[in-house]
Amino acid sequence: MTATKPRTDQAHREAPSWTSRTRDRVRRTVPEGQWLPDRQPVYVRSWIYVFGVATLAALLVVLATGFVLALEGSQWWHVSSLGHFVNSLHLWSVELFFACMVVHLWGKFFMAAWRGKRALTWITGVVCLLGSIGTAFTGYLSQSNFDSQWISGQAKDGLNAVGVGAFFNVLNPGQMLLWHVVLLPAVVGVLVVAHIVLVRRHGVVPPFDAVPPADATDPTTSGEATR
């Protein structure tokens, strides 16, 4: 009997901790090597794939410019030329964000990118779009200018007509600003992370009717998780 054997037996008897279970769960969700792969399937060779990453890049610019606006407060951009320029950066990064996201969405639609157990990836992407529309909308309501007045006056009737206005008052700029800078960005942020995790977990959807070579083995089960 060796000196180490009792410790090994003891280790085997120990129940898995919450930490080890969490680690195993994370490892199973996206195996090591799939988080930041330096290789992609050979069929990934089109400009359409760039728009997902471009959407993410635009989101970062939106967040960065919004962060600067938030630092100085909601009235800053009305009274400062620098503030107005930052607001312009925020506006145009939002326009680019949506442009990239819509192209990305259409690209994934035409690929039927929900195939191969990717339905949840599609759903999180669509909810990201909806959350982003809500975030942009509350941004327009938080501008405290003529556009805010007109858009809120018009939007209240639609929201009230289906009962939403009882809880989401577009005529209350304080409530809309909090939705714009806290609640909706948090939701969109979580969904974006979930969407990216799902993309990395399942990989890029193969073309219609494409089959892998006959000698292919699944690297995630054979230990070669480099893709």
Residues 5-24 that bind other proteins (CB under 8 A): none
Our CB check for other proteins shows the closer of 21 and 64 to be 64
Nearest 5°: phi and psi at 202? -95, -15
| CA atoms of 22 and 140, how far apart (whole Å) | 41
Going from the C-alpha of 174 to that of each of 119, 139, 196, 212, the distances in angstroms are 37, 12, 32, 55
Q: Which of 57, 63, 194, 197 binds other proteins (CB under 8 A)?
A: 57
207 lies in the site for other proteins, by CB under 8 A: yes
Residues numbered 101 to 130 that lie near other proteins (CB under 8 A) are 102, 107, 109-112, 114-119, 122-123, 126-127, 130
Q: Which stretch binds other proteins (CB under 8 A): 3-11, 17-25, 180-188, 219-227?
A: 219-227
Query: Which letter, b or e, does each residue of 78-97 get, where b requires 16 or more Cβ atoms within 10 Å of its Cβ?
Result: eeeeebeebbebbbebbebb
Contact 219, 225 (CB under 8 A): yes
Our CB check for other proteins shows the closer of 89 and 197 to be 89
196 lies in the site for other proteins, by CB under 8 A: no
Q: Which stretch binds other proteins (CB under 8 A): 3-11, 18-26, 93-101, 186-194?
A: 93-101
Q: Which of 6, 85, 186, 193 binds other proteins (CB under 8 A)?
A: 85
Tokens for 171? 């005529």
DSSP run (H or E) holding 89: helix 81-110
